[in-house]
Amino acid sequence: MKQALALALMGLGLSLACRPTRMPVPTPTLNPRLAQAREALQRGDALAALAQLESFVREHPEALDARVWLGDAYVMAGRMGEAEQVYREVLRQAPEHGPARLGLGIVLYRSGRLSEAVAEAQAILARHPQEPRAHYLLGAALLQQNRVPEARQAFDQALRLRSDFPEAYVGRGAARLLDGDFPGAEADLRRALALRPGMPEALYWLGRLLAQQGREEEARERLRQFLETNPPAPFAQDAEALLQALGGD
């Protein structure tokens, strides 16, 4: 059971890893270089975003929002140390900069510093209780700590604030699965896929859930769909092993 729980919690890490912080659109007259960087972030092209942002921030160190975008690009590129440095520099100048705090929380989560991630999410929520992404971050970190009921409450709150939040449906589905609520978990995971067809983390979780219930045909289908998204190696290896156990290719 402990091994299955550890594997399940790894799956939620995939969800958060794929979604760096998103900043609001600053103004209709956004600098062309920043506009290109924003478009690159939106399509998941970290290198293109960094090509614009690193030089822009060197030239305009006072542009805090651009520096947060730079941190987001580092997160997307997996460069957690550089992202943390950028977010902390912004927070030294503007301690209440919400997107920088959220970005820092994501870095802490991604780095396995779960207690710090929980504290950061709680600090954001103390000032911004209506921020759904902070509730999601809190739920993700709590779930990694095996604090399942608290995690579920955090995901519930994220979804009360934003009903079209597929990552939060995946998180709550994970919590429900770990609680043995298979119907609730399946409903959440299918809702995530309705909101974002082909969402890798929802396919991964749903495939595992269906396999656990003995619904082998659809489990194989979902796991194959997940593998078609070219997931990171640990998740791909797990899905391939599960497919083999189910008699798949």
pLDDT digits (tens, 9 = 90+) for 211-232: 999 999 999 999 999 999 888 8
In the block, residue with structure tokens 């709150």: 157
Query: Could you say which residues of the chain have pLDDT below 70?
Result: 1-30, 248-249
pLDDT of residue 25: 45
Residues, the chain, total? 249
Span 163-249 CATH architecture: Alpha Horseshoe (1.25)
Indicate the Cα dihedral angle 11, 14, 16, 17, nearest 10°.
160
pTM of the complete model: 0.85
pLDDT of residue 170: 94
pLDDT of residue 249: 63
Question: In the chain, which segments carry CATH 1.25.40.10?
Answer: 19-154, 163-249
DSSP 148-214: HHHHHHHHHHHHHH-TT-HHHHHHHHHHHHHTT-HHHHHHHHHHHHHHSTT-HHHHHHHHHHHHHTT
Angular region, 239: left φ>0, alpha ψ -120 to 50, beta rest: alpha
The first and second tokens of residue 69, run together, are: 């975008």
Fold classification of 19-154 is: 1.25.40
pLDDT of residue 13: 54
- Distance between CA atoms of residues 125 and 102, nearest Å: 10
User: Which of helix, strand or coil describes residue 20?
Assistant: coil
CB contact set of 143 (below 8 Å; sequence gap of 6+): 9, 12, 151, 171, 174, 175, 178
pLDDT of residue 233: 79
pLDDT of residue 31: 84
